[in-house]
Structure 1
């Protein structure tokens, strides 16, 4: 039955409809006005729009302009518009906001279309790219429907403000720098390109761009790692939309839709990248520096390295750092095999008297032990837990492996792992070029370059000889290589020397240093006295505890690789100690300089003494304990150095000196009680020197680094009055003796 409405009824119903429409429109306008006045919460101010908040990763940048790594809460690094492939921008516009260039933040035509689709059950999103940016920058998506409506109104107003303050290029760039690309802490197009395809945003192909843009609306459900089928379907949809909008031809769409995902997935965490030990130390140093120097944001708010997108410029050379890490890995794999073979079939319990104590200490230091203690477990229950096999991941020189092992056995395993650290620096500028703080930052976080100290052994001997040269001793002076007792400093001190390592008869100071002879070094210490040696050690940058005892001459004190390497630079730098430097400057995200470093320099020994010491250190390599650099590794250019081996072969050192690079290397176990049993295997010549040699071979092979082989140490401009030719020195001494004999006659 059809009811015919009268004209009056028609007008009345039309009026109801119009009243409803007008009422809805008025309600929306009122709600917008209320929202604009901040009744439902404060909107971003002009200042906020000029400086939108987002968690930006801070970058650690090498001297050759490579990113060594980042500090972040969200793995996000911004890029400029020109650094983004046009395929990414086209894919985003085609899929998310085809009228992006026409609207002013709100696309009302699209909004009303979306409302209609939602009413008939076809759920679609109506947010423009600008609205999505507003959500990304200034809020988080509300779950409550009523709050979401209010939030939507706020997004509209903020989107209009954004459109007034930024160009379309800036808006789409900001969006791509802020969007979430998955559950792996990947934010922004740069991190996404690196994580999923190991490339940069400007090199993304159409299919790669489509895959990443496809993840924008559902990074979880469209994850190519967890849901590859969904990811392919979504990618192909994006490619089809690119074709419909005229960004790709039909043939290109069909071609790219047939391609596999082609992932080169690299899950990035803060351990990733080069020089992880260095970056960990650097972060703590910067945090401390900013407090000491009162470097704050406005209102004395401290900078956050994980959120504020700082740029940290360092002296580390990315190529040299890579060579150092490669040299360590190459040789330590071989050395660990030697160590394992050396200990095979021997019981640590019988061979190391303190092993039970070391094991208990190791157990108490573990996170596992602390967690069990917090749970209220008794000591018996904890020991039972440590003797129960569990799944774990352990370090090997062939890569980390998953295995099943008793936690107590894993402690034993780690106690038998050799550790290693090295640092390389320019002696003239003080700039540190390479820093390898340990063998695996993933497994062993403790930095052994700067944070750790170990007994330095014979690498301390040059300090004693330098004091002697400063006091007009000649490196050609001959001394009987016999035991010497030093008195006047507590108990009489008589250093020992292994019979097989002791040269018989009378030898020169140069030869004594070259072959690391304890008796002659003790003789020199007895002549120059401990206090001047201790004072020189401190002036040359050793910051750890050093006491003026005779045993200083043989290295009976602890020091870091950082300090020891810096001290040897004094010899190569004409007697000037230059502060080891690794941080150049810090900039905020806008390029404003927050901090700039100025290196400290001081004259420690005179130029002639420094030159004579480099000559004596060259003797170590030419025919002394460091000679395998020549005969085994084939490096015959001017190189000085000093091996160091501590008591019981617990620590092996080598510090290599060239005119342009000084490099310190240390090797040993976590506990000094566990070590090689022979000096042939455990001495610095075998445990540390080869890493230096392998590193230098790589450095010399790359001529672009500017480290030249044919450069020798420069003599003082005023000349050298000390005779370095021991043959000439002997003839001169013989002549003096003959004159004295004639005069006596």
Structure 2
């Protein structure tokens, strides 16, 4: 049987058809088109935020260097701005040509030719893997500064960063001219040392303006664009000079500077003239600005999102109209400086012979603990602690003498040689502080806010943040409670005999007792015994409740000592509360803001003050009557005798234990002003009451301020002839023979006459009437 034949496989190789030119072209163009599509999708996706958050078109139209929120005073002055950094923007016409030429020569010589991305530099950078230089144009660098930040953590993020810069650079080129981009770049760059932008850099490093920069100065600042730390003329002068000269050589290379001018510029020394730049405006109260920021931010947060986003105080170009009067503010700051300059010298003189300076009554170990506690609150201590430096080494670092330490003086900033940081802390504990606020009692608008003496050194607001013992300025709250609760008149008499309640035995500061005093006399001379007896009669809770209704929110001790001022309250609270007496018994919460507008002019918030009646107009006027006595014949009489102010003034002084705190509240019909003076630590104070009482520390500031106000009173609506308004049914006469109760005021007539001889005697279980004897406004708590 035969086997059928099997097919035989061919061993010959199949021949491939050669690529035709047409196929090559198809593949080439196909890959090219695919690449184009991929690039388009990459850029499109980047612009839509697929590679991370990107600014919207509106943000590109309004870079954040130009959209800070502005603060306008009640008299129409631009006080300050809320901005991410302090800077003074300039326009292109302010830039000298050699500054622009230096920038182009160093950073982007083909800047005028490209549209945001330099293709030639990009190809060069990619082909050399960055070895032959970067490819960022000026526009890309601006995009990086404005929107995407300067840090990348890894290679992938760096690539994404670069893609974002490309997209944003193209968008910027569409919306701005080349000149505008150059100006924005110079305005945005951080030259360190608080030199944000070219104008502040010109001031910090050369004490000049941008328009007056010389060739060598311009080259130096442009050299810093590469690395403002490494090439900083203050930190690394040798590297800085070398890099400056590199920039000058580049200008010669591109024919932007002739050789002779270049050689002359390179021969010059750096010529640095360092100037300090405060991070917050010097012109007006930085303390006010910070209080304002907190209040506005709280309100903006409460609004939630508007059109999908929250308002940004620093980028949304808000216009904030505030109650502050720039002219009054300047008068107040000048008054604080004038008086504290004088008494600071006196305080330093007194402390020369004090081994525990600036403290009294403090053992040496506690004194040292106070200084070390202050040390631990410094940023430098926290930095060293973060580096895990042992406590002993940190202490040694703070006690090490230094070549130059900056200290505060009323003559301006000074640099002290051979001083340690601990010595600086001890020195600054000597510095007396002040808080001052003035408001219109009729509408609650705050006209003046001086929270401290210098924000750069003392970042603590003594108007609304600091709570200090108020001393006898609290007594009006006790007196008004008694008048309101018991229908007392200003002629009501109270015993001045020594007495005890439980373990508490209040004392008059002058050590004199006996007889009785009417309420006018008792408040005028700030008699402790009378105030103590009144709170025993009214009870503590009604006094605290009335203080709460007058806007006091700080904790108040629940005991009789508050009648002598043991509570720690703020200047803000005290001025707001006292203003109710000048406003017919109606409390109006002190207000910082009139209204807020967005960048289109739409009103976001039109503020309406919070108001409530606390006492009736008769009780309120009775308190004005009592407090006028303080000015006319009591502890506030220096206003008349020493400072010559003749207007109608109701006032109250206050001095706390050991003269740690000095207060003065002065009220006119249209302006209520409170002043506090003291040191940062309560153990630091004047040794004697003559120098340390409120009449000596705080009253003069009020007087200097009001002298300035009255000098130009018409522009403020304030006059020496202003009178407190009486209730309409009260006639002129108000003597003690007629004052039997507030319901009889309408029957009075004749002339206004204080008649103390007609005071009737009121006897209660705590009284023993013999003769009149006064006190003063110093607290003495004895349990």
The question of whether the paired residues in 2 share the 8 Å contact of 1:515 and 1:620 is answered with yes
Deviations 1:136-173 (A, max 9, x none): 54556999999999988876765554455567887677
Contact 1:59 1:67 in 2 (8 A): no
SS of 1:666 mapped into structure 2: strand
Task: Give the superposition deviation at 1:564.
Answer: 0.7
C-alpha distance 266-640 of structure 1, shift in aligned 2 (>3 A): farther
| Counterparts of 2:701 and 2:374, CA distance in 1 | 30
Q: Per the alignment, do residues 161 and 562 of structure 1 end up closer, same or farther by CA in structure 2, a change over 3 Å counting?
A: closer
- Written as runs of structure 1 = structure 2, the 5 A alignment for 1:391-402 is 391=402, 392-398=405-411, 399-402=413-416
Cα distance in structure 1, aligned partners of 2:489 and 2:269: 74
CA pair 536-174 structure 1, distance change in 2 beyond 3 A: same
Q: What are the within-5 Å matches in structure 2 for residues 1-400 of structure 1?
A: 34-38=38-42, 42-43=46-47, 48-52=56-60, 54-56=63-65, 58-59=68-69, 61-63=71-73, 64-68=76-80, 70-72=82-84, 74-76=85-87, 84=91, 86-88=93-95, 134=143, 136-139=145-148, 161-162=171-172, 164=174, 178=188, 180=189, 182-184=191-193, 186-187=195-196, 220=228, 266-273=275-282, 274-291=284-301, 293-296=302-305, 305=313, 311-348=319-356, 352-354=361-363, 356-367=365-376, 381=392, 385=396, 388-391=399-402, 392-398=405-411, 399-400=413-414
2:634 to 624, 637, 649: 624
Sort the Cα spacing of 1:520 and 1:430 in 2 relative to 1 into closer, same or farther, 3 A: same
Name the residue aligned to 1:449: 463
In the alignment, the residues of structure 2 paired with residue 233 and residue 596 of structure 1 have an alpha-carbon distance, to the nearest angstrom, of 56
Instruction: Note closer, same or farther for the CA distance 1:219–1:408 as it changes in structure 2 (3 Å cut).
Output: closer
Bigger mean CA deviation after superposition, 184-193 or 619-628? 184-193
Q: CA separation in 2, counterparts of 1:383 and 1:211? A: 40
CA contact (8 A) 1:88 1:209 kept: no
Which stretch shows the higher mean deviation, 307-316 or 664-673? 307-316
Q: Deviations over 1:492-539 (max 9, x none)?
A: 644211337x59755432222122122333344344443322221111
* Structure 2 equivalent of residue 16 of structure 1: none
Partner of 2:725: 715
Q: Distance in 1 between matches of 2:570 and 2:607?
A: 22
Count, aligned residues: 692
Distance 1:442 1:736 in 2: 57
- 1:661 partnered with 2:665: no
Between stretches 575-584 and 491-500, larger displacement belongs to 491-500
- Residues 1:644 and 2:654 are matched in the alignment: yes
Superimposed CA distance per residue, residues 287-306 of structure 1 (whole angstroms, 9 cap, x where no aligned partner): 44444x14346656x65556
Task: State the match for 2:530 in structure 1.
Answer: 520
What residue in structure 1 maps to residue 488 of structure 2? 473
Report if the CA contact (8 A) 1:87-1:204 is conserved.
Answer: no
| 1:459 matched to 2:473 | yes
Partner Cα distance (2:532, 2:450) in 1: 34
Residue aligning to 1:426? 440
CA offsets 1:14-38 (integer angstroms, 9 cap, x no match): xxxxxxxxx9999999866543321
Using a 3 Å threshold, how does the CA distance of structure 1 residues 464 and 99 change in structure 2: closer, same or farther?
A: same
Sort the Cα spacing of 1:270 and 1:153 in 2 relative to 1 into closer, same or farther, 3 A. Answer: closer
8 Å CA contact retained: 1:62, 1:317: no
Q: Residue 439 of structure 1 is aligned with which of 453, 468, 490?
A: 453
Residue deviations 1:242-276 (CA, integer Å, cap 9, x gap): x999xxxxxxxxxxxxx999999754342443322
Within the alignment, does 1:538 sit opposite 2:542 as a pair?
Answer: no
Structure 1 residues 424-478: Cα deviation after superposition (integer angstroms, max 9, x where no partner): 2222222222222233322232222211211111101111222334343222x16
2:441 touches 2:580 (CA, 8 Å); kept in 1? yes
The answer for unaligned runs of 5 or more in structure 2 is 1-26, 258-267, 737-750, 762-783
Task: With the length of structure 2 as denominator, give the TM-score of the two structures.
Answer: 0.71
Residue 93 and residue 569 in structure 1: after superposition, are their counterparts in 2 closer, same or farther (change >3 A)?
same
Contact 2:734 2:754 in 1 (8 A): no
Aligned partners of 2:332 and 2:450 also within 8 Å: yes
Aligned: 1:676 with 2:686: yes
Name the structure 1 match of 2:615: 605
CA contact (8 A) 2:82 2:313 kept: no
Change (3 A) 1:206 1:610: farther
Cα distance in 2, alignment partners of residues 234 and 432 from structure 1: 55
Counterparts in 2 of 1:159 and 1:429: CA distance versus 1, 3 Å = same
Instruction: Supply the distance in 1 between the matched residues of 2:137 and 2:241 (Cα, whole angstroms).
Output: 27
Query: Alpha-carbon deviation of 1:590?
Result: 5.9
Residues 17-75 of structure 1 deviation map (CA, whole Å, 9 limit, x = unaligned): xxxxxx99999998665433216971367972332285547446141332335442x44
- Per-residue deviation, 1:223: 8.0
SS of equivalent residue, structure 1 residue 621? helix
Distance 1:729 1:694, change over 3 A: closer
Q: Is the 8 A contact 1:525 1:553 kept in 2?
A: yes
- Residue 652 (structure 1) shift: 1.0
Residue 498 (structure 1) aligned with residue 472 (structure 2): no
* Contact 1:88 1:210 (8 Å CA) reproduced: no
- Please state whether the residue corresponding to 2:39 is helix, strand or coil: helix
Contact 2:69 2:316 in 1 (8 A): no
Alignment of 1:533-572 (within 5 A): 533-572=543-582
SS across alignment from 1:672: coil
CA 1:717–1:515 in 2, change beyond 3 Å: closer, same or farther? closer
1:191–1:595 CA distance, 2 compared to 1 (3 A): farther
Secondary structure class of the residue paired with 2:644: coil
CA change 1:547–1:207 in 2 (3 A) is same
- Inter-partner Cα distance in structure 1 for 2:114 and 2:397: 65
TM-score after normalising by structure 1: 0.74
Conserved in 2, the CA contact under 8 Å of 1:222 and 1:234? no
Which position in structure 2 is the counterpart of 1:416? 430
Give a deviation string over 1:64-103, Cα, whole Å, max 9, x none: 332335442x4456x6xxx847454988888859999998
Structure-2 change in CA distance of 1:176 and 1:637 (3 Å)? same
Q: Give the deviation of 1:682 after TM superposition.
A: 1.2
Cα distance in structure 2, aligned partners of 1:295 and 1:648: 49
- Distance in 2 of aligned mates of 1:702 and 1:196: 40
C-alpha distance in structure 2 between counterparts of 1:451 and 1:417, whole Å: 18
Q: 1:311 to 1:732 in 2, by over 3 A?
A: closer
**Match in the other structure for 1:698:** 708
CA contact (8 A) 2:470 2:566 kept: yes
Using the alignment, how far apart are the partners of 1:184 and 1:24 within structure 2?
A: 55
Alpha-carbon distance between aligned partners in 2 of 1:39 and 1:372, rounded to the nearest angstrom: 45
